[in-house]
Amino acid sequence: MGKTKFTLEYALGHAAPSRLWNYLQTSSGLGEWFADSVEQDGKQYTFSWGDAAQQAALVSMRRDVYVRFHWNDDPERTYFEMRLSRSELTDETTLTVTDHAEDSDDQDELTDLWNQQVDSLKRILGIN
């Protein structure tokens, strides 16, 4: 059975995408909110949470716009992506996360995880 793509959106207030970019793409930035620690070797990233580690490849990015990773042990056409957009009308930034889940229970767990991680990012940025 294949994984199903789902999307989550998070309002990040008036934070500029250029300010947010390092938190989405660099190992030091990702290590502040996404994982306990992140190591980078070229396009390979190792994300660690406690004693567990998972490797992902950076497959695509556009500076200040989006970054897309593929977990090395996931099916080929799956990925997780973090995309920044800015409303010209309100000047507010939105983080859109796209991920893949095996079933609805997995999607619920991943949604909870993303909510927690993005809450950590918001605290770092001083966004309520």
Alpha helices by DSSP H, listed for the chain, are 17-25, 27-33, 104-125
pLDDT digits (tens, 9 = 90+) for 89-121: 999 999 999 999 999 899 999 999 999 999 999
Which residue matches tokens 């970019």? 21
**Overall domain count for the chain:** 1
Average pLDDT across the chain, whole number: 94
Cβ–Cβ < 8 Å for 17, 82: no
pLDDT digits (tens, 9 = 90+) for 24-76: 999 999 999 999 999 999 999 999 999 999 999 999 999 999 999 999 999 88
Expressed as residue numbers, the domain containing 119 is: 4-26+57-125
The CATH number linked to 111 is 3.30.530.20
Q: Is residue 65 part of a domain?
A: yes
Q: Is residue 44 part of a domain?
A: no
Does pTM surpass 0.95?
no
Q: Quick one: pLDDT at residue 75? A: 86
Q: Is residue 85 part of a domain?
A: yes
Q: Quick one: pLDDT at residue 1? A: 61
Q: Is residue 8 part of a domain?
A: yes
Beta bridge partners of 52: 49
Burial class (CB in 10 A: 0-12, 13-18, 19+), 24: buried
Q: Is residue 120 part of a domain?
A: yes
Q: Is residue 47 part of a domain?
A: no
